């Protein structure tokens, strides 16, 4: 291989050659995140997709220190890493972040995350939200949206998929009184990178949730990942916003709304809503969620203050 190419890969913080599925939204998120952190960072990851496709022995795509920990304790381990850096006088030089999936964040690791936020550790926790336990066979999580069919919330003659709405973990994080909370999407990588930089510039616990479509678990062609992610935002189902101590809620506005059916019909996990009779009421419920988000976060107003790239 050309030595210049080898040198280029050595400079990358997340190199090619990992084993993510084609079109993986989480891998896109990791690249955008590390672009913001730079090399002076320690990454902690609980069990999940990112851990699985980046931890194949003896190769690692990580160009920064990376710790794989249990499903339930990523925030606790990150708290310990932050405390150790502080003890050694390195807290101002080395950043600590968590990159974990929705299963290890919304569900199994929620207690440790709450403790990290309550104690005030200077850690940025980033959840790549692919809306199910993808690594273990597409089981529903509390981040799975209403109506989605998964291995543990299957659609059938007596069920229409997951009946409960998606857990609003950014709101739970806000309730802890932490200094920065944001949502992002891989469809807008510059916005994601900017929000990570913003979080790292603030002392204390921060939480960012990144919507990351999964071609395998959601059932769409790998080439459609960005399109699917963008549609989720344009429908209002995934509002993009940020809140910090020194500024009010700022949101990405939606000058042109897209009906939720245009997003849902592209995914196999929602196919049952279009193939069976009498499912319009369920589609109306999902549309109502998007409509409520538009009102709650004022997504329909113009003159957004957030960079639209």
* pLDDT surpasses 80 at 307: no
Q: Which of 303, 305, 229 is nearest to 267 (CA)?
A: 229
Q: What is the pLDDT at residue 248? A: 86
Q: Which CATH number fits domain 3-296: 3.40.462.20, 3.90.380.10, 1.20.120.1200, 3.40.50.970?
A: 3.40.50.970
> What number of other Cβ atoms are within 10 A of residue 25's Cβ?
27
- Give mean pLDDT, residues 121-139: 98
Q: What is the pLDDT at residue 155? A: 96
Q: What is the pLDDT at residue 305? A: 39
Q: Retrieve residue 263's tokens.
A: 């997003």
Where does residue 254 fall: left (phi above 0), alpha (psi -120 to 50 degrees), or beta otherwise? Answer: beta
Residue spans of beta strands (DSSP E) within the chain: 41-46, 66-69, 95-101, 124-129, 155-156, 159-160, 180-185, 206-211, 241-244, 247-251
Return d(Cα 144, Cα 153) in angstroms, integer: 10
* pLDDT surpasses 60 at 306: no
How far CA 210 is from CA of 102, 192, 267, in Å, comes to: 10, 8, 19
Residue 120: exposure state from Cβ atoms within 10 A (0-12, 13-18, ≥19): middle
- Give mean pLDDT, residues 276-299: 95
Q: What is the pLDDT at residue 301? A: 62
- Give mean pLDDT, residues 130-151: 97
% the chain with pLDDT above 90: 87
Q: What is the pLDDT of residues 42-70, one digit of tens each?
A: 999 999 999 999 998 889 999 999 999 99
Q: What is the pLDDT of residues 206-244, one digit of tens each?
A: 999 999 999 999 999 999 999 999 999 999 999 999 999
Q: What is the pLDDT of residues 72-97, one digit of tens each?
A: 999 999 999 999 999 999 999 999 99
Segments in 131-252 forming alpha helices (H): 169-175, 189-200, 215-218, 225-235
> What number of other Cβ atoms are within 10 A of residue 292's Cβ?
12
Question: Do residues 267 and 246 make contact, with C-beta atoms less than 8 angstroms apart?
Answer: no
Q: What is the pLDDT of residues 170-189, one digit of tens each?
A: 999 999 999 999 999 999 99
Which residue ranges make up each domain of the chain? Answer: 3-296
For residue 303, what pLDDT band results from cuts at 50, 70 and 90?
very low
């Amino acid at each position: 291989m050309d030595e210049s190419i080898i040198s280029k890969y050595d400079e990358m913080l997340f190199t090619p050659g990992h084993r993510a599925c084609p079109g993986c939204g989480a891998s896109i998120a990791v690249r955008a995140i590390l672009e913001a952190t730079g090399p002076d960072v320690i990454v902690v990851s609980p069990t999940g997709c990112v851990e699985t496709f980046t931890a194949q022995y003896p190769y690692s795509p990580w160009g920064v220190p990376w710790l794989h920990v249990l499903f339930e304790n990523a925030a606790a381990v990150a708290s310990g890493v932050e405390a150790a850096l502080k003890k050694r006088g390195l807290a101002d030089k080395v950043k600590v972040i968590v990159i974990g999936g929705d299963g290890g964040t919304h569900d199994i690791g929620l207690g440790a995350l709450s403790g990290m936020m309550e104690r005030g550790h200077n850690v940025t926790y980033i959840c790549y939200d692919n809306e199910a336990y993808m690594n273990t066979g597409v089981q529903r999580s509390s981040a799975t949206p209403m109506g989605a069919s998964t291995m543990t919330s299957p659609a059938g003659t007596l069920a229409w998929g997951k009946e409960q709405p998606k857990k609003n973990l950014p709101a739970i994080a806000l309730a802890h009184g932490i200094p920065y909370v944001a949502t992002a999407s891989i469809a807008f990588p510059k916005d994601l990178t900017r929000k990570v930089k913003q979080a790292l510039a603030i002392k204390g616990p921060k939480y960012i949730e990144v919507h990351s479509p999964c071609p395998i678990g959601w059932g769409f062609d790998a080439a459609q990942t960005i399109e699917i992610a963008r549609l989720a935002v344009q429908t209002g189902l995934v509002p993009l916003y940020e809140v910090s101590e020194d500024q009010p809620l700022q949101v990405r506005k939606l000058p042109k709304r897209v009906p939720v059916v245009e997003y849902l019909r592209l995914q196999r996990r929602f196919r049952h809503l279009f193939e069976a009779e009498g499912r319009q009421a369920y589609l109306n419920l999902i549309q109502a969620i998007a409509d409520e988000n538009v009102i709650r976060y004022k997504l329909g107003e113009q003159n957004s203050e957030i960079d639209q790239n």
